[in-house]
Structures are given as C-alpha cells and as structure tokens.
C-alpha cells in the first residue's frame, strides 16, 4: 500500500517537471559520455598497443651470446659464449616449459636482384617455427619456409612485404626467381602486413628469410646470431629464464648467476611492465572522466536543492494533506536516482553508438595504428554504473532529507 | 470533538522567545460552525495550526476525538491530517502545476485509495462544488472563487469530520466570497464541524459561535454571549 502511494504520487509529479529534468539529464549524459569515452580511449589504446606488441611475437624471449664476467671452475672471465644450432635441441630437451625454440643467422647488405632492380637488404636464415613465434604469416597464395625446405636446404625465399614492393613493384612475386648475391632463389611467400612496435635488427617487413640450413651452406656462418624461444605459461617467464642460464651454464661452463654470459630480452617482462603503465594511464583517464561525472552529480544535487526550495510550499501542502515525511523523502530520492540513471543509461548508449560508429569510419592513419580507437568494455560499463549509483543516491539523499524535514507550518507560509 | 486544556505555544526566533498562545481552554463540539476572530498577531493562525495537527502544543493538552495529539508520532499526525481534517487556506495552496482533478486527488493518493475510487470520488467532489466542467483546468486558468472551490473539494476528499478554513474569503471579491461562505454553510448543515478564521465581521456573524482571540488568549469563547443573549 505504502509503495503504491509513493509510486502514484511520484509518477504524477515527475511528469510535471519535464524541463528541469531534461536539463539535468543533459548534464548527466555529458558526464557519462566523458567518462565512457575517456576510459574507452584508454582501453582502445591498450588493445591497439597489445596488437602492435604481437607484431614481434607473443610470450617470446630472444637470446644472444655474450661474454662471461665471473670466473668459473678455473676459467677466467671475458670468455665468449656463442650459440649454435645444436643448442636448440639441447635447450628444448632440458626445459620442457619451452613450447617452441628456433635460431637465426643475420646478414645485412645482401644483394637482391629481380629483373633490372637491385636492392641491398637484411637477410635472415631461420627455422620454420618463426612463423608462429614471430608472427611471420604469409599472404594468401604463399607460404612460409617449412621443414622440408630446411631438410633439403632448398633455395626458397620468404619476402617482407615492403621488400616485395620495392623489389618487384606490382609483379606477382610467388613462384618468381630472384637472385640473392647472384644465387637464384624461388619466392614462396610474402609476409602479410602486420603492425610491429618493437624489433631487434630491423622491422620484419624489411627483411627476407631463407632456411637456416641454406643460409649456413651459402654463407658458412659457424654461430647463430640469436635464439628465440616461446613459452606457453607466460606467468613463469622469470623462472624459465633462470633455468636457461642454468642449462646453458652447464653446457658452456659458466656461472648460472653470470648475467653477461648470455643476454636475454624477455618480452613477457616488458609486456607486464607495459600493462602496468597502461593500467596507470587508464586510472588517470578514469579520474578525469570521474571528475567530469562528479560535476554532473553536483549539478544533480544542486538542481534538487533548488527544486526543493522552489517546491517548499508544495511540500507543505502535501504534508497538510497527510503526506508522511517518508513519502516526501522517497519521492525526492527516487527523482534523483531516476534522473541519474536515465542520464547514465542514455550517456552510455550514446557513448557506445559513438565508439561503434567511429570504429566503422574507414580512416587509414598512422596515428590510429598507434593509438587505436576508443573501445567500451564490459568492465568500463560496470564501473560507470557503480559510480552513477553511488552518485545518484548521494545527490538525492541529502536534498531529500532536507525536503522531508521542513516544518509544514513554515513551508505553507513560504512564498 | 476538540478539547484544549491550557494550550501554550511558544516559538524561538533567533534569541527572542515569542509566546503565540498563552493558555487556551477550548471545547468545540461535533457539528459546530465556529468562527475565530481577533486582530493580527492574536494567535489565530497558531491556534489553527495546532487544531489542524500541523503543529503540536509546547505545553498543555489537545485532545482530538479522545486522542492526545501531543503524544502522537509524526506519521500518526500525518494520518490525522489526511483522514480527519480538511484544510482550506486563504492563499488556496493548490499545486500550481496540477489540474483541478489532480489537486483534489492528492489526499486520496496519500490515503492509498484505489484508482477507480479516486476517479469517481474526484468527479463527485468537483461536481458538488460546481466545477464539473473545470476538471482539467490548472489553477492559473481559474478564478479565485473557482480555486477556493477546488480547495474545498480537496478538503472534503477523505470525508473528514473537521474542516479548518483560514481566512477562506480573504483573497476573494465579495460575490465569490459569499458563494464560498454559502458552501461552508451547506457543509455544516450536512453535519461537518467547521472552524473558520476570519477578519470579516459579517461572515463571523453568520457563524453559530464566534471565538474571539486577543494576545494569545481567548477573549470570549462565544458560549457566554449566547447564553446571556
């Protein structure tokens, strides 16, 4: 019964205040859109950076040989540690947590010739599993270096997309012969375009890849330039790196604590750090958005206070007609909450439409490739709902308490 | 029906204490039509607020139909205002944004009446005060006399025993004022208890009993005058 009374009175009065409510709603919609877009922008940036980060590879570490810096078992320091192809199976056999391991030779200034076009490029000899470790994926119609290429030391070549453009112009590269330091190679694939925000030895789009074995046969390099391994459980990255030092320390007789014997670039650790920075950025944006929304909340409270002042007489009349204080309190509280929620929902819907719309605009831009586009996630939505709820209750409660505490005699006299 | 024993009401405004009622003894029987007169500041309005349960006495006892108003909770006072008392004000005090219909409906809403009953009751009341054709008019679209009739219809909504009217003709011209007074007389004849504050001696003269206030005290309660006459 009591709820019915409040509902009836509330509904009736609420309809009478369209203009005031509309203005308050606009403030809230604005505040909600601000926080949603700022958080969405942070989220979009995070996602884009994560995608770009995958350009290098996911959960990988790159290992280079180094020089010992601690004397070990009678051997002095300053001894060079170099990597070779036998290390690959050795490491994999002893550290089962390593999902994939591969090695590469590098050579810069390799001459590539196609027709009259001659360019000088970075050539890599590598193992086929670079495809998944380093995301060297072929475009449609082509393929990456495979195990048979490796086994038979085939003269096949996989081109970075940028190299393919510069060397062959508009010609279809697959199946064509090109000369690499005057040795004929068959193009088997061109790398699919990818975003890459970090690298060692140059961007993948600017290099050509040939089988590790073919490379060794042509150039005769005795040592690998580096080894790349990929782990499946990224949370154990540090542990696995320690194991690597132990295993290699045993093989090459260096102290497992000697961090200069090998140099390891653990991209997982970098990713963790990067995630923390991104989280910081998102908190920062959330605070800015939250403050904007807070201003809207203060606006709601303010408008409620003004409204109560204006409606003092109305409150007095209602009390004379038999309204309980709790009815008045609930009415004003409900009004504030409803306005807050209405504005919030409307703002969220508009933000969603705006971000979705923005995603669909086909703009080619380097800036967007780096920054990403605003994205609204479920977490953002829930966070904003929580903020709005707290705000709606606070913005309504204090004015409502004031309204319900007025003296009916005085408020009837109020002009 | 209404019985007051030594009712005192004092207010504190800033540092100054002000006693509006200085010991009122009053007895009003069911079905009476009493006019309350007295100069400004004599405590008429304060008396009305206490009778109407909008305010409670600072000391003394006010019994309304046997219950001690001073002891009631704020919710119980609201209930009494809703069911037992109908207010009619000098300034009409209609909700400005609401239609005649919606204004009359207010006490019914707070009484928790069902929608169907509310509808029938509001139409019945507005017909009774002669405003069946102004159901959807807002206060701004009505004359003073019409607004006061809406207020009377609203006061009658929950069939209260007591109608309290505070200068009901104060803002009206003499013609519509006369009509309102006539309406009160009809209500009185139908058995309502009516207490009316007025400045107008002509209107007071039409009442069954005239209670005269002076400086927060009852100067004459109208009973002696009648017995001596």
Q: Which domain holds residue A179?
A: 103-228
pLDDT in tens, B26-82: 999 999 999 999 988 888 989 999 999 998 899 999 999 888 998 999 999 999 999
Q: Are residues A43 and A80 in the same domain?
A: no
Q: What pLDDT sits at residue A370? A: 66
- Regions of chain A with pLDDT less than 50: 1
SS3 B166: strand
A-chain residues within 8 Å CB-CB of B107? 321-322
Q: Are residues A136 and A71 in the same domain?
A: no
Same domain, A395 and A284: yes
Q: Structurally, how many domains does chain A consist of?
A: 3
- A8, A316, A320: residue with CB nearest B109: A8
CA pair distance B37, B201, nearest whole angstrom: 8
Q: What are the residues whose beta carbons fall under 8 Å from the beta carbon of A299, sequence distance 6 or more?
A: A24, A27, A28
> If DSSP codes are grouped into helix, strand and coil, which group holds residue B22?
strand
- My answer on whether A108 and A139 are in the same domain is yes
- Nearest Cα to Cα of residue B25 among B44, B8, B48: B8
The model's confidence at residue B227, banded by pLDDT at 50, 70 and 90, is very low
CB A278 within 8 A of CB A42: yes
Domain annotation covers residue A267: no
Pair (A397, A381) in one structural domain: yes
Chain A positions touching B75 (Cβ under 8 A) are 324-326
Do residue A317 and residue A408 come from a single domain?
Answer: yes
Per-residue pLDDT at B229 exceeds 50: no
pLDDT for A366 equals 66
Residues of B in contact with A321 (CB under 8 A): 81-82, 87, 106-107, 110, 154
The tokens of A386 are what?
A: 């929580």
Q: Which residues of chain B approach chain A closer than 8 Å at the C-beta?
A: 49, 52, 54-55, 74-75, 78-79, 81-83, 87, 89, 93-95, 97-98, 102, 106-107, 109-112, 154, 158
A252 shares its domain with A326 = no
The beta-carbon neighbor of A321 closest among B75, B97, B106 is: B106
Residue A89 lies in a domain: yes
Same domain (yes/no): A81, A108: no
Query: Do both A222 and A249 map to the same domain?
Result: no
pLDDT score of A1:
47
Q: Are residues A88 and A162 in the same domain?
A: no
Taking the C-alpha atoms of residue B171 and residue B92, their distance in angstroms, rounded to an integer, is 9
pLDDT value, residue B123: 95
From chain B, the residues in CB contact with A12 under 8 A are 98, 102, 109
Indicate whether A59 belongs to any domain.
no
**CA–CA min distance A339, chain B (Å):** 20
From the CB of residue A357, how many other CB atoms can be counted at a distance below 10 Å? 9
Ramachandran angles phi, psi of A121, nearest 5°: -135, 175
Q: Tell me, what's the pLDDT at A25? A: 85
pLDDT confidence of residue A306? 83
The candidate with the shortest Cα–Cα distance to A106, out of A236, A200, A4, is A200
- Res A2: pLDDT: 65
| Structure tokens, A163 | 């190299």
Integer Cα distance of B164 and B194 in angstroms: 6
* Alpha-helix runs per DSSP H in A253-311: 267-310
Name which of B46, B106, B118 to mutate to probe chain A: the one with the most chain A Cβ atoms within 10 A of its Cβ: B106
For residue B226, pLDDT beyond 60: no
- A contacts of B103 (beta carbons < 8 Å): none
Residues A108 and A206 grouped into a single domain: yes
Residue A265 lies in a domain: no
| Dihedral of alpha carbons A258, A264, A268, A273, sign | positive
Distance of alpha carbon B64 from alpha carbon B74, whole angstroms = 15
Q: pLDDT value at position A3?
A: 73
pLDDT at B228 over 50: no
In a domain, A111, yes or no: yes
Q: For B145-163, how does the pLDDT look when each residue is reduced to its tens digit (9 = 90+)?
A: 999 999 999 999 999 999 9
- Coil/strand/helix, residue B197: strand
pTM of the model: 0.66
Please give the Cα distance from B2 to A58 (Å, whole number).
88
Task: Write down which residue in A204, A228, A252 finishes a domain.
Answer: A228
Closest chain B C-alpha to A275 CA, distance in angstroms: 56
The interface predicted TM-score (ipTM) is 0.90
Q: What is the pLDDT of residue A402?
A: 85
Residues A243 and A296 in one domain: no
Q: Which of A205, A228, A251 is the last residue of a domain?
A: A228
- Decide if A243 is inside a domain: yes
Q: What is the pLDDT of residue B202?
A: 86
Answer whether residue A266 is part of any domain: no
Return d(Cα A100, Cα A133) in angstroms, integer. Answer: 7
What confidence tens digit (pLDDT) does each residue in B104-114 have?
999 999 998 89
Q: Does a structural domain hold residue A109? A: yes
The secondary structure of A345-412 as a DSSP string is HHHHHHHHHHHHHHHHS----HHHHHH------HHHHHHHHHHHHHHHHHHHHHHHHHHHTS-HHHHH
């Amino acid at each position: 019964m009591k709820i019915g009374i409040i509902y009836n009175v509330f509904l009736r009065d609420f309809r009478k205040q369209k203009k005031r409510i509309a203005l308050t709603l606009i403030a809230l919609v604005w505040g909600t859109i601000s926080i949603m877009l700022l958080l969405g922008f942070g989220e979009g940036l995070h996602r884009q950076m994560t995608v770009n980060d995958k350009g290098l590879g996911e959960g990988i570490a790159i290992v280079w040989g180094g020089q010992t810096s601690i004397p070990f078992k009678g051997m002095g320091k300053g001894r060079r540690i170099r990597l070779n192809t036998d290390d690959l199976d050795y490491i994999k056999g002893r550290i089962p947590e390593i999902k994939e391991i591969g090695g590469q030779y590098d050579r810069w200034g390799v001459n590539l010739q196609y027709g009259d076009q001659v360019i000088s490029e970075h050539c890599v000899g590598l193992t086929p599993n670079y495809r998944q470790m380093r995301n060297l994926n072929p475009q449609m119609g082509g393929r990456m270096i495979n195990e048979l290429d490796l086994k038979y030391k085939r003269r096949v070549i996989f081109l970075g997309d940028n190299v393919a453009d510069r060397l062959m112009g508009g010609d279809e590269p697959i199946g064509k012969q090109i000369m690499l330091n005057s040795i004929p190679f068959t193009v088997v694939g061109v790398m699919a375009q990818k975003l890459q925000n970090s690298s060692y030895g140059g961007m993948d789009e600017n290099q050509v890849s040939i089988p590790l074995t073919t490379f060794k046969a042509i150039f005769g390099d005795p040592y690998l330039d580096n080894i790349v391994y990929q782990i499946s459980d990224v949370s154990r990255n540090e542990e696995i790196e320690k194991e690597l030092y132990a295993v290699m320390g045993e093989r090459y007789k260096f102290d497992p604590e000697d961090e200069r014997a090998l140099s390891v670039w653990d991209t997982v650790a970098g990713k963790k750090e990067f995630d923390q920075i991104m989280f910081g950025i998102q908190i920062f944006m959330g605070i800015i958005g939250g403050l904007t929304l807070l201003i809207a909340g203060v606006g709601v409270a303010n408008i409620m206070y003004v409204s109560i002042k204006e409606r003092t007489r109305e409150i007095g009349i209602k009390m004379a007609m038999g309204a309980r204080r709790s009815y008045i309190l609930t009415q004003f509280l409900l009004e504030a909450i409803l306005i807050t929620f209405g504005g919030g929902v409307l703002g969220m819907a508009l933000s969603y439409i705006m971000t979705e719309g923005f995603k669909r605009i086909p703009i080619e831009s380097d800036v967007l490739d780096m920054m990403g586009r605003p994205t609204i996630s479920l977490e953002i939505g829930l966070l904003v709902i929580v903020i709005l709820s707290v705000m709606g209750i606070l913005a309504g409660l204090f004015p409502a308490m004031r309204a319900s505490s007025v003296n009916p005699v005085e408020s009837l006299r109020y002009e | 029906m209404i019985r007051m024993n030594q009712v005192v009401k004092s207010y504190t405004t800033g540092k100054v204490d002000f006693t509006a009622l200085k010991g009122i003894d009053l007895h009003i029987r069911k079905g009476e039509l009493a006019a309350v007169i007295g100069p400004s500041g004599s405590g008429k309005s304060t008396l009305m607020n206490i009778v109407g349960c909008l305010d409670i006495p600072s000391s003394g006892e006010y019994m309304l139909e046997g219950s001690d108003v001073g002891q009631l909770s704020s919710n119980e006072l609201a209930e009494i205002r809703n069911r037992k008392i109908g207010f009619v004000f000098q300034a009409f005090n209609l909700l400005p944004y609401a239609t005649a219909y919606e204004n009359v409906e207010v006490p019914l809403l707070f009484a928790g009446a069902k929608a169907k009953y509310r509808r029938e009751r509001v139409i019945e009341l507005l017909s009774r005060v002669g405003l069946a054709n102004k159901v959807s008019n807002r206060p701004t679209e009505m004359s003073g006399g019409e607004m006061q009739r809406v207020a009377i219809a609203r006061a009658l909504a929950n069939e209260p025993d007591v109608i309290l009217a505070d200068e009901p003709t104060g803002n009206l011209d003499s013609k519509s004022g006369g009509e309102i007074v006539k309406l009160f007389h009809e209500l009185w004849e139908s058995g309502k208890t009516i207490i009316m504050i007025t400045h107008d001696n002509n209107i007071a003269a039409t009442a069954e009993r005239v209670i005269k206030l002076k400086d927060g005290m009852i100067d004459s309660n109208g009973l002696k005058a009648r017995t001596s006459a």
